Amino acid sequence: MPFRPAQFVSVIALPLAALALTFAAPRSEPAAAAPLPAPPAEALRPAGRQVAVLAGGCFWGMEGVFEHVRGVISVTSGYAGGPRDKANYAAVSSETSGHAEAVRIVYDPARISYGQLLQIFFAAAHDPTEVNGQYPDRGPSYRSAIFPQNPAQRQLAAAYIVQLGKARAFPRPIATRIEDGTFYPAEAWHQDFMRRNPDNSYIQRWDKPRLTQLKAQFPALYTG
């Protein structure tokens, strides 16, 4: 996201800060050279609601993308990979807490699989070849990471990263890490930021293109 205040949480000044970033040199979008291959088939889809935790840069855009995916029940912005007492915006902004900005996705496995969520994550939601950053945002809190919630998710995520690497799906090596860590929800003003601020210049410049990619690459999974 475009600014890192220690205490100031008002979004009034946000458009001015984001406006300067509008003219930053863009990275190619998406990072994939072609539509990504499907992930390995899941041996057994779990029953009932499931959770996925993914990190791919500013959580505003990640949340906004997955809120438009069929089968997703809810998406929460937050922090993962660091301790509870530092799971707040001021601490994470310092780039010393160990957290990544992440999203917690609750989904219905009867309508969408974990593998399909990973495919969207790699193809449309962010650039998995970026190291410690996404687009204009730099630092380890913006890293690309997967936080598996069970052994099956961990196995599938690891296998898919290997599969994409062998397929040379991206022009650069995949930087996505598989990590352990508890998810902590972010402050209320971060939640549903794209939906509540569709005309924000940061959202328009960096996050709306992700929705365009989602709709173009996964029309059957896109929901308005």
Per-residue three-class SS string for 22-77: CCCCCCCCCCCCCCCCCCCCCCCCCCCCEEEEEEECCHHHHHHHHCCECCEEEEEE
Cα–Cα distance for residue pair 126/120, rounded to 1 Å: 9
Q: Considering just the CA atoms, what is the radius of gyration of the chain in Å?
A: 16
Per the domain annotation, does 70 fall within a domain? yes
Catalytic-role residue among 54, 58, 203, 214:
58
Give the pLDDT confidence score for residue 136 in this predicted structure: 86
Give the pLDDT confidence score for residue 17 in this predicted structure: 35
Q: Compute the average pLDDT of residues 162-166.
A: 97
207: its two tokens:
């996050």
Burial class (CB in 10 A: 0-12, 13-18, 19+), 219: exposed
Per the domain annotation, does 125 fall within a domain? yes
pLDDT digits (tens, 9 = 90+) for 79-121: 999 999 999 999 999 999 999 999 999 999 999 999 999 999 9
Query: Residue 40 — very low, low, confident or very high, per pLDDT cuts 50/70/90?
Result: confident
Task: Assess whether pLDDT exceeds 50 at residue 33.
Answer: no
Which CATH number covers residue 145? 3.30.1060.10
Cα–Cα distance for residue pair 17/4, rounded to 1 Å: 10
Q: Compute the average pLDDT of residues 217-223.
A: 96
**Residue predicted with more confidence, 210 or 26:** 210
Query: Residue 220 — very low, low, confident or very high, per pLDDT cuts 50/70/90?
Result: very high
Where in the sequence is the domain holding 94, given as residue range(s)? 50-217
Per the domain annotation, does 108 fall within a domain? yes
Task: Assess whether pLDDT exceeds 60 at residue 25.
Answer: no
**Total domain count for the chain?**
1
Per the domain annotation, does 31 fall within a domain? no
One DSSP character per residue, 165-185 reads HHTT-SSS----EE----EEE
Give the pLDDT confidence score for residue 200 in this predicted structure: 94
Per the domain annotation, does 81 fall within a domain? yes
Query: Residue 155 — very low, low, confident or very high, per pLDDT cuts 50/70/90?
Result: very high
134 is catalytic: no
Query: Residue 2 — very low, low, confident or very high, per pLDDT cuts 50/70/90?
Result: low
**Residue predicted with more confidence, 43 or 192:** 192
Per the domain annotation, does 149 fall within a domain? yes
The helix or strand, by DSSP H or E, that contains position 212, with its residue range, turns out to be helix 208-217
Cα–Cα distance for residue pair 2/201, rounded to 1 Å: 10
Per the domain annotation, does 186 fall within a domain? yes
Per the domain annotation, does 3 fall within a domain? no
